[in-house]
Amino acid sequence: MATTGKLELTIKISELPEVKTVENGLQYFELDCNGRIFAVAVKPKVWKKLTDAQANYPMWVAAIAGQMGAMTPEGFVLDQANIQVFEKKPKVVEADAG
């Protein structure tokens, strides 16, 4: 007998995907993850997190998390997607003082 679990996926991106507006004003975009295409639709308020990061941070990374939804011919739908954006600081390489 199997134990019940909940599958959640997190996809990380660092560039703004191409988006199109679909029904109810949702912002729809697709993410290619190793040949599997994940279809994502989010509310404009959630999409704004990505556009704000693009405008305000020179480097950033976003974590898009959700549940694996229906299978599509190319991959899957990412249901109930939410986005967290983080400013990415460039790594500073210090020269040896030797």
pLDDT digits (tens, 9 = 90+) for 77-98: 999 999 999 998 878 777 665 5
User: How many Cα atoms occupy the beta-carbon half-sphere of 76 within 13 Å?
Assistant: 14
Residues paired with 15 in a beta bridge: none
Could you tell me which residues come within 8 angstroms of residue 68 by beta carbon, excluding any fewer than 6 positions away? Answer: 7, 9, 76, 77, 78, 79
Q: Is the Cβ–Cβ distance between 30 and 39 less than 8 Å? A: yes
Q: Per the confidence metrics, is the pTM higher than 0.95? A: no
Could you tell me which residues come within 8 angstroms of residue 97 by beta carbon, excluding any fewer than 6 positions away? Answer: none
> Which candidate, 12, 75, 70, places its Cα nearest to that of 38?
75
| Overall average pLDDT of the 58-83 stretch | 95
